[in-house]
Amino acid sequence: MRTVSNFPIGAAMRFLPFSDDPELQRLQKHHFDSYTAGNDMKMYNIMPKEGVFDFSVTDAILEYTQENDQRLFGHNLIWHSSTPPWVKEKARENPDWLSSFMKSYISTYVGRYRSFVHGWDVVNEGLRTKGSGYREDSIWYEVLGSRYIEQAFFYAHEADPQAVLFYNDFNIERDLEKFNFMIDMVEDFIERGVPISGIGFQMHIRMDTPNGVIASTLQRAAATGLQIHLSEVDIIFNRHDDTRGGGLQIRTSLTPEMEKAQAQKYYDLAMIYRSVVPSDQQYGITLWGFNDRDTWIRPFFGIQDWPTIYDERLQPKPAFFGLLNGLR
């Protein structure tokens, strides 16, 4: 797959058990030239306790990507859901501490991998789940207000001026209120010189997400001139409310007709990206896991689904060939 695309094709992996699965490694090396860590590079793993950084897994990932000539993408620096409990507790006890901690954390982390990590999701999911507005159930917003987002970009840019810096979020391809709020925020950043380089569309989409809406939002985002990353792609048949355990099981088995339709949807998504995002702004397409055996959808939402391009036996589905043809 990597050989037919004009831009990087990535997969998000959990290094364990990935590093102990030869077949998964073979497929990843063959098809992908960009690596995103599923959870390994998030704050609760990088700094599980105060004053203690654990870079062991990230160092191993870096070694793997360098050995296999792959781009390493950093996911992520600041995210409410990956903030360790000890950070939240200390921030509420001493609000003035949180800003200095964020600067120190980003400076140390990004600085360690300066020139090795190509790009970062600097802030992930800083907006409300639905509609316009900032995510208020975040310790970062609660203590620092909305300015924490731009501050994080300044700290990351200072630590690595060459890194490509993204704001990353979900549902912005179809929730137009959320999308418009995000675009207003990004354009304000650009106007005021906040060092943002790109917009990450997670692109956890459903089969019934309208192609026209996806094309429109991607085209509008590309009009900012920033890099556009489809950063966490999978395509589900069922539904959910974006909360843990909030899945709605509509389809209970995968039929050949469903597989054919999913292949078309993967094809359409690749074609939309190629057609509406200028080539010099195409940061790439990253799949959030590439096989149904390891998909996050099933355990998180509590539903059976088949959202990826490989099945549970690590065999390519029609979706694989749909994406491949779309990339061609």
Statement: residue 1 has pLDDT above 90: no
- The pLDDT of residue 16 is 85
CA 178 to centroid of chain Cα atoms: 17
Statement: residue 234 has pLDDT above 90: yes
Interatomic CA distance for residues 94 and 83, integer angstroms: 16
Report the amino acid identity of residue 116: F
> Model-level pTM?
0.97
- The pLDDT of residue 110 is 98
Interatomic CA distance for residues 109 and 100, integer angstroms: 14
- The pLDDT of residue 17 is 84
Tens of pLDDT, residues 198-223: 999 999 999 999 999 999 999 999 99
Residues annotated catalytic, as ranges: 125, 232
DSSP secondary structure letters along 49-62: BTTB---HHHHHHH
pLDDT (average), residues 265-281: 98
CA 264 to centroid of chain Cα atoms: 23
Tens of pLDDT, residues 94-114: 999 999 999 999 999 999 999
Interatomic CA distance for residues 228 and 200, integer angstroms: 6
Assign 176 a pLDDT band (cuts: 50, 70, 90): very high
Statement: residue 129 has pLDDT above 90: yes
Q: What is the mean pLDDT of the chain?
A: 97
Interatomic CA distance for residues 180 and 223, integer angstroms: 13
Interatomic CA distance for residues 39 and 224, integer angstroms: 29
Complete domains list, the chain, with CATH = 9-327 (3.20.20.80)
Tens of pLDDT, residues 8-51: 999 999 998 899 999 999 999 999 999 999 999 999 999 999 99
SS3 content of the chain, % helix, strand, coil (to 5): 45, 20, 35
